[in-house]
Structure 1
């Protein structure tokens, strides 16, 4: 028996259901007006993947990652991904330890707790409030960590030409209460890399001069899957002794559908033992290190698939193409003479631009939305006095032709908005 068709104003479950085809049609119709994912230039998340990857994802969506006794091959895949990432990030794959998470935010929270527990073990609180040093461009997950665990956030203010943290400021903000410094490899504000090696050097000097040992965590949510392939000479990872842990998002430039994050520590000693729970679940003992519990194994399966499918050269080719498209598009926008580029795609393939006074970015964003492009406009940290920025994230599904079409749309807006 068919039931009545629910609408967007319905707030209760229908008394009667409908058949599967009708339900799928209703849902599809409700969602059909949303922007196409490949034109969603707001998100860093992967929005396209091969049919074989989609098939694998669907096949393993019903497998629970935490059922390690029942799915030992998936557990082995997770550990292999951790070792591969450890090697990619400059550490002996036999030493690194880590975990898959539901996203990089969860990974960051786990890394933060590890920093806090190590600080408590080394120094004890002595009634002092622990602190965490970061730049104004740090992701909100770090502020959540500070609020939830009672840590003082020491945030370097944004300055013209410097949205993130630099080495002198990092050193200045650290003292005996500091549990760690967060270095950002790929800011969501402008796509830039913070000078992680210089920050590590400043912390080395701090320890040598004052005996204050402050570990460095690298939030490589996006850059962790870009820099190793495109900027191998850049020192930011476990090759720096000061770096104790790294988080990254597999579902961003790791090319995995949402949601997958990774957190890695240099070794067992670096990761706090207080993070590990021994869980007797479904008849066996396992170490449990995640904040969450049950979740699909499909993203982990896809991460392993991508490593095997693309290899190092394939990842480099994919990201080099995205960076080239971003730099090309940034050049076209610069040539209009109407924007100031804060990010030009030369690090992360991300473009961030502020406008001259005669261009209203929010109106431009609305104009582009009418053409099917989703482009966010947001304010920079308040230290910079209400500076608005339009950001364009270039992913592997944006072609050079699409970038040209986007640039044409911007030029069309500029030509009509000043008449």
Structure 2
């Protein structure tokens, strides 16, 4: 309903996630595509996280909602193959329902003195190495390889979520169906929890809106679920003893930025932070 109400005469595209990066939730893509089709709007599925995982999750028999071109109205799908495709960074994928839609991506200029110039997109020349290495990785792993890797990831995720949900102070946001999820708390400062986990040599991304810790589970995590959960339980006990004035450093800074009512000010803060990092002394 919110997306339908947000559509105006200036709307050129609707986007749904499969799944969303912050919380691992798959959007109601069939409903969104139906709205887009009725309005004559391009419907894009952002499967940058799940594009190389969800097909195998589905093949393994897990209940996954339809997320691809089987949904009428979906025009394009993007997927980052360096994530669950396990390829080197530098190559990605965008798929179109048909060539007629793909043509709008192509850049062509016929009046350049150097000759007719055409590229797949506006980026122009790009290195072929990452594309070749990505292709080699995908061919090497094959269907069987991806099925095994995804099964390991799903098993590890299940054990991890069950362990987190057994900690009274914590919960998992929403109902993630694959291997990305977020940890929240109504009684602890999760940013302080993330900082405490660093002392145990676990590095977890902090997120806000709402405050939570981001988890991306891969096959390599299958061997460390129990040690991670043991340290998480210990960290929860220590953070529970903290008073608000005890929370300092990055935890305090991230909490301050996340709670700023003026989001433009929060953006300015981030820009200034990056400027300071790249300043030449």
TM-aligned CA deviation for residue 365 of structure 1: 1.2
Which of 234, 237, 241 in structure 2 is aligned with 1:412? Answer: 234
- Equivalent position SS for 2:79: strand
In structure 1, the partner of 2:263 is: none
In structure 2, the partner of 1:183 is: 16
Deviations 1:300-348 (A, max 9, x none): 122212322122232122112112211211110110111121056x423
TM-aligned CA deviation for residue 411 of structure 1: 0.9
Structure 2 contact 196–239 (Cα < 8 Å) conserved: no
- Equivalent position SS for 2:173: strand
- Ranked by relative contact order (alpha carbons within 8 Å, sequence separation 6 or more), the top structure is 1
Counterpart check, 1:347 vs 2:169: no
Structure 1 contact 350–393 (Cα < 8 Å) conserved: yes
* 198 and 231 in structure 1: CA distance in 2 versus 1, 3 angstrom threshold: farther
Which of 347, 363, 375 in structure 1 is aligned with 2:192? Answer: 363
Structure 2 contact 57–151 (Cα < 8 Å) conserved: yes
- Equivalent position SS for 1:246: strand
* 284 and 373 in structure 1: CA distance in 2 versus 1, 3 angstrom threshold: farther
**Please, which runs of 5 or more residues in structure 2 have no aligned partner?**
242-281
TM-aligned CA deviation for residue 352 of structure 1: 0.6
Structure 1 contact 227–234 (Cα < 8 Å) conserved: no
- Equivalent position SS for 2:224: helix
Counterpart check, 1:397 vs 2:220: yes
Distance in 1 between the 2:71 and 2:43 partners? 9
In structure 2, the partner of 1:293 is: 124
Structure 2 contact 14–43 (Cα < 8 Å) conserved: yes
With normalisation by structure 1, the TM-score equals 0.52
Distance in 2 between the 1:317 and 1:340 partners? 28
Matched residue count = 236
Counterpart check, 1:213 vs 2:40: yes
* 372 and 201 in structure 1: CA distance in 2 versus 1, 3 angstrom threshold: same
Distance in 2 between the 1:280 and 1:394 partners? 50
**Please, which runs of 5 or more residues in structure 1 have no aligned partner?**
1-167, 381-386
Moved over 6 A (4+): 283-286
Distance in 2 between the 1:417 and 1:199 partners? 41
Counterpart check, 1:256 vs 2:87: yes
* 279 and 354 in structure 1: CA distance in 2 versus 1, 3 angstrom threshold: farther
Larger radius of gyration: 1
* 279 and 352 in structure 1: CA distance in 2 versus 1, 3 angstrom threshold: farther
TM-aligned CA deviation for residue 182 of structure 1: 0.6
- Equivalent position SS for 1:270: helix
> Equivalent residues in 2 for 1:35-74 (5 A)?
none
Using the TM superposition, name which of 291-300 and 362-371 deviates more: 291-300
- Equivalent position SS for 1:323: helix
TM-aligned CA deviation for residue 188 of structure 1: 1.3
With normalisation by structure 2, the TM-score equals 0.75
In structure 2, the partner of 1:335 is: 166
Structure 1 contact 279–288 (Cα < 8 Å) conserved: no
Alpha-carbon RMSD across the aligned residues, in angstroms, is 2.6
